[in-house]
Amino acid sequence: MGVWFFVMCSLICILLHPSVSFSETSPEIELANAKVIVDLDNQVTAVTMEIKNATSGTDLTSLKNKLKAKQEALDLAVKAAYALPTNEGVKQAKKLAESATVIEDLNKTLVDPNVPEAAKDVIRNARMLAEDRAKELTKDTNESQRLKDLADKRFAGFGFGVALGVTVKAGKRQIVNSATVDPNGLVRIDRDNNTTANFILESHYFFTPDIHIPIFNVEPKNWGTGPFIAVQPGTENIIQAVGAGWMIGFKRSSIIASDLARDRGDSFNLGFGIMLNPNAQVLGDGIEKDKPLPGAETAIRLKKTTELGWLFTFSYSF
């Protein structure tokens, strides 16, 4: 019952998580954004070629600083316009810009008095096709952004995951599965339970800092960190152990809408904390490992007690 209560609470938190509001960008704004991005990309390419073809007297430091500034401007423009990495965003922008150029050229042709009226009918049809193509590209971009925003929202805040947890005892007492008395009358632990690996259920709350992690090239909002709680189901007991700690999670890479896939905000998470086991079995009072039984006792006594352990988790949340 305790496990199901934990699961239901986690699911309720997820379902009550605020929904994402997203307003679509108009085709005109999308085309304008695309032209800016293509222009910035051309500037980056031009400066890159300057550096590549630089002679011995060229100020390379100045050119490299210029390239860095242009690249940062391009990255920011793509980030503001699309839910895509810079390279993919530039490709999308070029497609939109090409459509805009075709439409502009067709419009110029339509107002040219030297073009026969019969030819203008064909040009109008071509313009209609080009406008439809631009709308489709804009629709794909908006859908990609919507899915990205939805994934970001689902990743942040409350989440639920299934984890592989490793618990290492934190106290001095041995956690015992079985023990015997050897022929010399000494207590021997046949099997301990000091380190265990189990499947656990976890629920977490992620804050998503607007910070880039350069080591793994993780973009802001694609990682989060926050507290978590964990429950380990048992065989003899419904709840074998409970724990809490701190977790860091990395969201799966966003998938563009044209791939017909949904980015649900799934993530891989690493956690560290403390596990409380109220059902730990240890040697009874007065009985010590590798020592004779106390007094006239002939059998080993075991008892259930509460023990703490260090908890390491690797979970997948969805």
DSSP string, 72-127: HHHHHHHHHH-SS-HHHHHHHHHHHHHHHHHHHHHHHHHT-TTS-HHHHHHHHHHH
pLDDT at 255 over 70: no
Residue 297 pLDDT: 82
Spatial separation of the C-alpha atoms in residues 122 and 127, rounded to whole Å: 9
How far does Cα 192 stand from its chain's mean position?
Answer: 37
How far does Cα 239 stand from its chain's mean position?
Answer: 29
* Greater model confidence, 199 or 7: 199
27 band by pLDDT with thresholds 50, 70 and 90: low
Contact predicate 228/279, CB 8 Å: no
Q: What is the mean pLDDT of residues 253-272?
A: 62
Residue 52 pLDDT: 86
Q: What is the mean pLDDT of residues 41-49?
A: 90
Spatial separation of the C-alpha atoms in residues 26 and 282, rounded to whole Å: 68
Spatial separation of the C-alpha atoms in residues 262 and 245, rounded to whole Å: 30
Sign of CA dihedral 132, 135, 140, 141: positive
Contact predicate 2/10, CB 8 Å: no
Report the predicted TM-score, pTM, of the whole model to 2 decimal places.
0.56
What's the half-sphere exposure (Cβ side, CA atoms, 13 Å) at 161? 32
What's the half-sphere exposure (Cβ side, CA atoms, 13 Å) at 85? 9
Residue 166 pLDDT: 94
* Greater model confidence, 249 or 106: 249
81 band by pLDDT with thresholds 50, 70 and 90: confident
Residue 14 pLDDT: 39
Q: Which residues contact 176 (CB under 8 A, 6 or more apart)?
A: 189, 191, 192, 193, 281, 282, 283, 302
pLDDT at 147 over 70: no
Please tell me which of 87-91, 272-276, 290-294 the model is most confident about, judged by mean pLDDT.
272-276
Q: Mean pLDDT across the chain, nearest whole number?
A: 78
Residue 5 pLDDT: 43
Distance from the first to the final alpha carbon of the chain: 23
Residue 83 pLDDT: 60
Q: What is the mean pLDDT of residues 38-47?
A: 90
286 band by pLDDT with thresholds 50, 70 and 90: confident
Q: What is the mean pLDDT of residues 248-275?
A: 70
